[in-house]
Amino acid sequence: MDLFSQQEGPIRSGFQKHILAGGELWVMPNFLSAEKAAAYYRQIKETINWRQEKIKMYGKTHPLPRLTAWHADAGYHYKYAGILCRPDPWTPALLEIKQQIELLLPRQKFNSVLLNLYRDGHDKMGWHADDEKELGVNPTIASVSLGAIRRFDLKHRKNKALKLQIALSPGSLLLMTGGLQHHWLHQVPAQKKVRAARINLTYRKIIGGSQP
Ligand SMILES: O=C(O)CCC(=O)C(=O)O
Ligand SMILES: [Mn+2]
């Protein structure tokens, strides 16, 4: 049994299945055409109210090394790394992309998206798992890349020999599902030679909306 076990044919065959050690990772390189990906990149970069969040580490406050935004159905807050995200409403572009992903995954409905803007290769995201309790057990997370190509690294939490690097190109869709968040960590490392910006959209399903 895997994410697409009841779905042979063009949808399944558009994906590359990468790993199975306790979880599943699927990549569809051509989820969006180059033209669509470029148009969404421009539109999203310009219309989103990007925020510079701060994190506290060892008593000191640091700016997060990227800009972020959180768009969700009303009432769906999200907390990660001590940052509380209050939802902004869906924009037409974010909703359109969400619906296109849901067409591929008939049993999955997302209610939120976390946006990351890596302004250049200095911006990054450290090793982590998307294992907040609001995502439930074995969440399916759908991640769309726009703009510059960046590296996405994964490593198994226990078995040091298990690791993977993928280049995420614009218009690609990556799915993380099964027990991936329990057994693996992921990161987007700095790549200081990269000059251009990248936008990442990670669609999620938050369980139990709440007012903080
Ligand atoms: O930028 C990416 O591809 C990864 C983003 C990510 O891991 C996250 O938002 O939790
Ligand atoms: Mn993540």
Segments making up each domain of the chain, as ranges: 18-198
Q: Is the CB of 116 under 6 A from ligand 1?
A: yes
Please say if the pLDDT value at position 130 is more than 70: yes
Residue 56, SS3?
strand
pLDDT of res. 57: 83
Which one of 25, 143, 180 would you pick to mutate in the ligand 1 pocket, going by the greatest count of ligand atoms within 8 A of its CB?
Answer: 143
Q: Which of 4, 6, 7 is nearest to 26 (CA)?
A: 4
Q: Which ligand is nearest to the CA of 113?
A: 1
Is the pLDDT reported for residue 20 higher than 80?
A: no
Mean pLDDT check: name the lowest of 1-5, 22-26, 94-98, 140-144: 1-5
Beta pairing class for 78-80 and 83-85: antiparallel
Phi, psi of 140 (to 5 degrees): -100, 120
**Residue from 200, 204, 205 to probe ligand 1 pocket by mutation (most atoms less than 8 Å from CB):** 200
The residue whose C-alpha atom lies closest to atom 1 belonging to ligand 1 is 200
C-beta 188 within 6 A of ligand 1: yes
Would you say residue 118 has pLDDT above 70?
yes
pLDDT score of 25: 94
Q: Is 128 annotated as a binding residue?
A: yes
Q: Are 142 and 173 in contact (CB under 8 A)?
A: yes
Tell me the CATH number of domain 18-198, given options 2.60.120.590, 1.10.10.10, 3.40.50.620, 3.40.50.410: 2.60.120.590
Q: How far is it, in rounded angstroms, from Cα 36 to Cα 23?
A: 30
Which ligand does the CA of 78 lie closest to?
1
Residue with tokens 């960590």: 185
Quick one: average pLDDT of 98-125? 95
* CB of residue 115 inside a 6 A radius of ligand 1: no
143 lines ligand 1 (CB under 6 A): yes
pLDDT of residue 80 exceeding 90, the answer is no
**For residue 11, what pLDDT is reported?**
74
End-to-end CA distance of the chain: 38
Condensed to tens digits (0 to 9), the pLDDT of residues 131-183 reads: 988 899 999 999 999 999 999 999 999 999 999 999 999 999 999 999 999 99
Note the pLDDT of residue 8.
Answer: 61
**Would you say residue 83 has pLDDT above 90?**
no
**Range name among 18-22, 52-56, 131-135 with the lowest pLDDT average:** 18-22
Which of 19-23, 59-63, 149-153, 191-195 is predicted least confidently? 19-23
pLDDT for res 192: 97
3-state secondary structure 90-157: CCHHHHHHHHHHHHHCCCCCCCEEEEEEECCCCCCEEEECCCCHHHCCCCCEEEEEEECCEEEEEEEC
For residue 92, pLDDT over 80 is answered with yes
Q: What is the mean pLDDT of residues 23-33?
A: 95
Residue nearest to atom 6 of ligand 1 (CA): 202
Nearest-CA residue for ligand 1 atom 3 is 200
Q: Is 131 annotated as a binding residue?
A: yes
In this prediction, residue 87 has a pLDDT band, given cuts at 50, 70 and 90, of very high
Ligand 1, pocket-test mutation among 25, 64, 150, 152, most atoms within 8 A of CB: 152
Q: How confident is the model at residue 93 (pLDDT cuts 50, 70, 90)?
A: very high
| Per-residue confidence (pLDDT) for residue 141, from 0 to 100 | 96
Nearest Cα to 199, choosing from 58, 37, 33?
37
